[in-house]
Structure 1
Amino acid sequence: MKTIILVTIVYLCLLSGCSSSRHQQLTELGFERAYLDGYQDGCYSRTVAATTHQNGFRRDPERSMVVTKYRRGWQDGFDHCYSDDRNTYL
């Protein structure tokens, strides 16, 4: 169910061009802190770290191995921010 909601948010964000309110929308939908932290780190890794190649990705390796929601949030954020900034990577 949460996956369907997330896909809907992604679709709406792509149509409206939103970027700063995603975190707030996910919070309002009831996603847990671990997922939100992972999502934020994954999005940062795709948009900022991927263009500089100096600092590497922002990811908590221990938390990623232990907390499934963090790992899933990181991957969703990484994928979603790529779809927002596709032209940067083509």
Structure 2
Amino acid sequence: MKTTILVAIMYFSVLSGCSSSRHQQLVELGFERAYLDGYQDGCYSRSMAGKTYQDGFRRDPERSVVVKKYRSGWEDGFEHCYADDRDSYL
């Protein structure tokens, strides 16, 4: 399931170019609000907090336990943003 989502995201990214944000692309693909929130938090955690170490990760602990789509979105956002920003972590 996770691989399918990432393939869909990458495929859509190639088709649409850089004209819209990833979040907007996911909205257009029909992802639910919980997944989108998780994706955004996971991406922020990897790209911003991962570089500064000041703010820590952005994650709703209660929601990630109860809402599977939030947890899935967070994990996907965390992994996808790492893949896009690899040079910053070398």
State whether TM-score is above 0.5. Answer: yes
Say which is worse superposed, 16-25 or 78-87, in terms of deviation: 16-25
Aligned-residue RMSD, C-alpha = 2.5
- Cα distance, 1:36–1:84 mapped onto 2, change above 3 Å: same
Q: Percent identity?
A: 76
Aligned length: 90
C-alpha deviations, 1:9-48, integer Å up to 9, x for none? 225547x874951111111111000000000000000000
C-alpha deviations, 1:31-76, integer Å up to 9, x for none? 0000000000000000000011111000000000000000000000
- Aligned structure 1 segments of 4 or more residues deviating by more than 4 angstroms: none
Find the aligned partners of 2:53 and 2:19 in 1 and give their Cα distance: 22
TM-score of the aligned structures, taking structure 1 as reference length? 0.85
What aligned pairs does 1:20-39 form with structure 2 within 5 A after superposition?
Answer: 21-39=21-39
Q: Any gaps of 5 or more consecutive residues in structure 2?
A: none
Counterpart code for 1:68: K
Counterpart code for 1:53: Y
Q: Any gaps of 5 or more consecutive residues in structure 1?
A: none
